[in-house]
Chain A
């Protein structure tokens, strides 16, 4: 039975490869499940728990989109992808969207033919050193050995930074974050560099976190966000506005606790439009009127998701920083729901 599918697929591969499938939105609705690409495991962002359920900051975006489209935050098939397989998985249609701490860059957006629909975490590359090294700035790291993950943008940023500051370094290439932790703790390198969120998460796992400092320099911009295939704008809109709904919900004070009350109708017309008691925003997206309500009900608003997965009360312990609302000095700025 399966084999006939395979043969048919092989035979018609050449003919059908060029033909675009029906809209992703229709595909997802027909399937009743959202295929969402996530990382194979990154602390705070995506990881399976003991029951095999996925949890994390990126996972929450998947769940919100699934809730908006299908009304069920559990109607998600999580497809673990590695740094090497993620883009092919998205381009080939194996997944409908990718929420895998992926940096929005020009070439990924333009050349690889993807569409970044927004930013769910503003990150940047930093450095961590042992306290006893007595270093207070990255510019003092002349001649240091640096643990660096190969094949990432961080490797390129590192080379740029040291060259522009005219200092030298010796790279210690490593494959994974776990390996980096071991190498760094064993003293194989003086410095560990990766995204600041990763550094914080890594330091939190140390026996003695206070023995290590994260240097103040952030040497790159790493806007991490969900992405979809280029060219399917209806689907891109759905993912973009599901994310925006989470951000706007925090700004408007809608939380998972008061959602029911708010959805009954409020004095604020924007809240009413967002939650579907006024206007036809859902209809315009091709979704039900309560799409945003479902998205927020999935895991709460942006602030709640942040606090639950990577916020200061979690072991990862990240401050909001750049990821605060624009009203509080951050970069989160959801366009108006109108």
Chain B
């Protein structure tokens, strides 16, 4: 008997997993070559990607920046690569990018649309990131609808101020008259007073104020608006205004008040039954014939109204989908708490319905933003319209893909950010009832 025994007294150190299972190699094995079929598909996909990139990358990077015309571009290409095929001529973008972004907006006033954009982001931040940004910023959000037109169109400051005063007047009447004459009558009186102010008094008052105290900045004509700036402006207005209108329409459609209900149904079905392009033609052509000669009903304002109505109808249906998805118990729960209709909507129904509708709402936003390019058909110079105008310049006639590539990048940046934000919002609001 020997008492030699082998007893391990300490644990072996942990070994690294086999090299084929971790790191890059492991990942590749698991994800790309886990079976013969997957391996074949992977090879084919890499081949396809290589084929596309081998065409696109040289086009993008072996390109000409310093040229003032297409023919100059071609000469440089011939000199450098002995062929004009497969090389982009970015000279057109270098020469015209400011025009593509701002249209014919006066050069020395570019700071105004830029400031308007920065303020827009600031004004949106308390809404978009309510948990990170102080709610004091909401003051800016409230003021923004009046700051933006002032910055963009310029002119006297009293126009936007008087427009804002209408809301203040309406609000004060609703707030203080409610005790005296009841809530409904106070609401009606407030709206009527605001309308009287806007349509009858505001014009002369603004005129008088600006003659007494001429504060203002250089005015810019609507005709000079254009480029991507126009797309953003139309998109922001249509998006910002259509959401509240859409909510009201969706609620109206579910209302028990029969007239309200059928007005909403009629509006939604009418607008959804007509292509946007038809509405734009109505805005640009039909209104011209109905209005008396010499009337100057701003074309951009007309287009904004039409696009807003159009997206509001779609928005209403998206939100109605959210409302329909709520269990009946939520409504009954709200009733049992003794909340009135508006309180129930604000505190119980809408937060849930809107959360459900986020993907649909953002899809509508992205859709209407891209639809802004349709205005090129009625002669407004948005990016697409400018692209054809640039091609009509003798220097750049014949250029095609470079302009559209640039426009595609611009739109992608904006639409992709909207899409990512909606995913962030969905994650943030996720309460996991699924």
Contacts and interface: CB of A to CB of B under 8 A. Distances in A.
A and B are partners in one complex rather than unrelated chains: yes
Interface of A: 1-7, 9-10, 12-13, 16-17, 19-21, 27, 39-52, 77, 79-82, 84-85, 88-89, 91-94, 176, 178, 181-182, 201-202, 204-207, 314-316
A80 B381 contact: yes
Interface in B89-103: 95-96, 99, 103
Contacts of B379: 40, 79-82, 85, 89
B338 interface: no
Contacts of B104: 48, 52
A3 B388 contact: no
B285 A43 contact: no
Contacts of A12: 292
Contacts of B207: 1
B389 A80 contact: yes
Given A3-B202, A47-B389, A205-B397, A93 B294 contact: yes
Interface in B364-413: 376-381, 385, 388-395, 397-398, 400
A1 B162 contact: yes
Contacts of B376: 40
- Lowest 10 A-B CB distances belong to which pairs? A205-B398, A41-B392, A92-B288, A16-B292, A93-B293, A47-B392, A4-B203, A41-B389, A52-B104, A9-B295
Nearest to B85: A207
B292 A182 contact: no
A31 B296 CA distance: 13
Nearest to B395: A315
B296 A5 contact: yes
Contacts of A7: 199
Contacts of A182: 400
Chain B CB within 10 Å, residue with most, of A9, A41, A89, A204: A41
B175 interface: no
Chain B CB within 10 Å, residue with most, of A17, A19, A43, A92: A92
Contacts of A314: 394
B70 interface: yes
A20 B294 CA distance: 10
Given A10-B291, A93-B293, 15 more contacts: A2-B301, A5-B295, A7-B199, A13-B291, A41-B391, A41-B393, A47-B393, A79-B223, A79-B379, A80-B381, A82-B378, A88-B284, A89-B288, A89-B379, A201-B394
A49 B290 contact: no
A50 B385 contact: no
Nearest to B391: A178
A176 B388 contact: yes
Chain B CB within 10 Å, residue with most, of A43, A45, A46: A43
Contacts of B393: 41, 43, 47-49
Nearest to A50: B95
17 contacts: A1-B163, A1-B202, A4-B199, A5-B296, A7-B199, A27-B294, A41-B389, A43-B392, A47-B389, A47-B390, A48-B389, A52-B104, A77-B223, A82-B378, A85-B378, A88-B288, A93-B293
A12 B289 CA distance: 13
Given A48-B104, A85-B285, A88-B289, A178 B71 contact: no
Contacts of A206: 398
Interface residues of B, number: 56
A142 B234 CA distance: 49
Contacts of B394: 43-44, 47, 201, 314-316
Contacts of A52: 99, 103-104, 224
Contacts of B284: 85, 88
Contact of A9 (B159, B162, B291, B377): B291
B74 A207 contact: yes
A19 B295 CA distance: 13
B36 interface: no
Given A42-B392, A85-B284, A17 B202 contact: no
Contact of A40 (B74, B162, B381): B381
Contacts of B70: 205
Contacts of A93: 288, 293-294
Contacts of A315: 71, 394-395, 397
A79 B224 CA distance: 10
Given A47-B392, A85-B379, A205-B397, A5 B99 contact: no
Chain A CB within 10 Å, residue with most, of B285, B297, B376, B398: B398
A178 B376 CA distance: 15
B307 to A, nearest CB: 17
B200 interface: yes
Contact of B290 (A17, A80, A181): A17
A1 B285 contact: no
B358 to A, nearest CB: 34
B206 interface: yes
Nearest to A206: B398
B210 to A, nearest CB: 9
A201 B294 contact: no
A51 B224 CA distance: 12
Contacts of A205: 70, 397-398
